[in-house]
Amino acid sequence: MTALLEARGVVKRFGGLTAVGGVDISVAAGEMVGLVGPNGSGKTTLFDCLSRVQPVDAGLIRFGGVDITGLRAHDVARLGMSRTFQIIRVYRDLSVAENMHLSIQWGALGVPELFARTDAATRCRADELLDLLLLGRLRHERAGNLSGGQRRLLEIGMSLMSEPRLVLLDEATSGVNPTLVADIADRIRAVNSEQQVAFLLVEHNVQFVADLCERVVVLDQGAVLAEGTPGEIMRDPSVIEAYFGDPGEGARDQNRVPSDPGAPDERVGEGSLHRSLAGSGDAADPDAGREEPVS
Ligand SMILES: Nc1ncnc2c1ncn2[C@@H]1O[C@H](COP(=O)(O)OP(=O)(O)OP(=O)(O)O)[C@@H](O)[C@H]1O
Ligand SMILES: [Mg+2]
């Protein structure tokens, strides 16, 4: 399988701290890959490196056969890679449709086009995507009035405006009511199959990743700890150790109890590892309690 995205030996340091310490990762065209790991393991920093939001200290990143290691973020967007951010970035005072229009002008074209009239093709693409993401009836709603889940879907829509081949999603389920997480997974699956878009998904909700991805990469302390199917990584003792191993870290979440790594038939989603990790993102998100159905 030819890689759409291929990164080798990516290193990112902040002063004396090595946030990403020589990571190899690849995503094939149309593939959905999960990227999980404990808090502070370097997932967002790796996204920043891959999408060229941050310069790397070492390593090589190729996208669609092009060396993008030295390119800027909007050049990479033009080549067909886009991303969302851990903290939702929508303009709350603009309508849902206006956010969609602005995202392509900003992300794929550049500052001069930002103030240009929105052309018919852009409006048409926005409407098509909003319908696909079940936000069509909200297109004239102020983005600030959307629920957390609806705003996550809007962000995904904004990332798709430039017709990317790969989208990097940073915690698409963070702050989303658990009952709506399945809706977001369903819409991502639809985008993947209908528009052949590949996804690299950073998630704390391991069940979400397991439902969507055949391959999951686990980061720990800036390095790849494990890689495999969701079932394989759930049963990997080193993964369980990374999440639960340090007794001092146990205080992070008293409810996290490791599943039995030896259980032969444990299905993904049934083990306590999956339950305990599910939804352990930004639980304090103020929108988490006021979710509404997206359809
Ligand atoms: N701009 C920065 N300056 C200094 N240190 C940073 C910066 N960004 C991240 N770090 C550090 O790099 C490490 C990795 O952080 P990162 O945000 O990439 O982790 P993460 O896996 O995304 O965590 P989380 O699951 O909490 O989102 C952490 O120790 C973090 O404190
Ligand atoms: Mg992060």
207: its two tokens:
């069940």
The arithmetic mean of pLDDT across residues 31-60, rounded, is 96
pLDDT at 256 over 50: no
pLDDT value of position 279: 41
Strands 66-67 and 58-63: antiparallel
Q: Rounded to the nearest whole angstrom, what is the distance from the C-alpha of residue 104 to the centroid of ligand 1?
A: 28
| Cβ atoms of residues 155 and 88 within 8 Å | yes
Q: How confident is the model at residue 86 (pLDDT cuts 50, 70, 90)?
A: confident
The arithmetic mean of pLDDT across residues 276-283, rounded, is 40
pLDDT value of position 109: 52
Burial 149-167 (b: 16+ CB within 10 A, else e): bbbbbbbbbbbbbbebbbb
Is the domain covering 3-89+165-277 a CATH 3.40.50.300 domain? yes
Q: Rounded to the nearest whole angstrom, what is the distance from the C-alpha of residue 40 to the centroid of ligand 1?
A: 5
Q: 166, 188, 169: which is closest to 29 by C-alpha? A: 166
pLDDT value of position 246: 54
pLDDT at 282 over 50: no
Q: How confident is the model at residue 141 (pLDDT cuts 50, 70, 90)?
A: very high
Q: How confident is the model at residue 111 (pLDDT cuts 50, 70, 90)?
A: low
Q: Rounded to the nearest whole angstrom, what is the distance from the C-alpha of residue 151 to the centroid of ligand 1?
A: 23
Going from the C-alpha of 279 to that of each of 204, 214, 232, 267, the distances in angstroms are 7, 20, 21, 18
pLDDT at 114 over 60: no
pLDDT value of position 295: 38
pLDDT at 23 over 50: yes
Span 48-76, pLDDT tens digits: 999 999 999 999 999 999 999 999 988 89
- Binding site membership of 40 for ligand 1 (Cβ less than 6 Å): yes
pTM of the model: 0.83
Q: Rounded to the nearest whole angstrom, what is the distance from the C-alpha of residue 44 to the centroid of ligand 1?
A: 7
Going from the C-alpha of 210 to that of each of 206, 247, 274, the distances in angstroms are 6, 27, 9
pLDDT at 284 over 80: no
DSSP states of 249-286: GGGG-TT-----TT-TTPPTTTSHHHHHHTT-S-TT-T
DSSP states of 9-64: EEEEEETTEEEEEEEEEEEETT-EEEEE-STTSSHHHHHHHHTTSS--SEEEEEET
pLDDT value of position 291: 42
What percent of the chain shows pLDDT beyond 70?
78
| Adjacency order of strands within the sheet including 81-83 | 81-83, 166-170, 198-202, 32-36, 215-220, 223-228
pLDDT value of position 214: 93
pLDDT value of position 110: 53
Across the chain, what does the average pLDDT equal? 81
- Binding site membership of 87 for ligand 1 (Cβ less than 6 Å): no
Q: Rounded to the nearest whole angstrom, what is the distance from the C-alpha of residue 200 to the centroid of ligand 2?
A: 13
Q: 259, 255, 267, 229: which is closest to 241 by C-alpha? A: 259
Q: How confident is the model at residue 249 (pLDDT cuts 50, 70, 90)?
A: very low
- Binding site membership of 45 for ligand 1 (Cβ less than 6 Å): yes
Q: 198, 199, 276, 202: which is closest to 234 by C-alpha? A: 276
Q: Which atom of ligand 1 is nearest to the CA of 38?
A: 25
- Binding site membership of 44 for ligand 1 (Cβ less than 6 Å): yes
pLDDT at 245 over 60: yes
Q: Could you tell which of 17, 87, 218, 252 is best to mutate to test the pocket of ligand 1, judged by most ligand atoms within 8 Å of the CB?
A: 17
- Express the helix, strand and coil content of the chain in percent, nearest 5 each: 40, 20, 40
Span 182-233, pLDDT tens digits: 989 999 999 999 989 999 999 988 889 999 999 999 999 999 999 999 999 9
The residue nearest atom 30 of ligand 1, judged by CA position, is 40
Q: How confident is the model at residue 271 (pLDDT cuts 50, 70, 90)?
A: very low
Residues with CB under 5 A from ligand 2 (ion): 43-44, 86
Q: Rounded to the nearest whole angstrom, what is the distance from the C-alpha of residue 221 to the centroid of ligand 2?
A: 13
- Binding site membership of 187 for ligand 1 (Cβ less than 6 Å): no
Lowest mean pLDDT among 116-125, 147-156, 278-287: 278-287
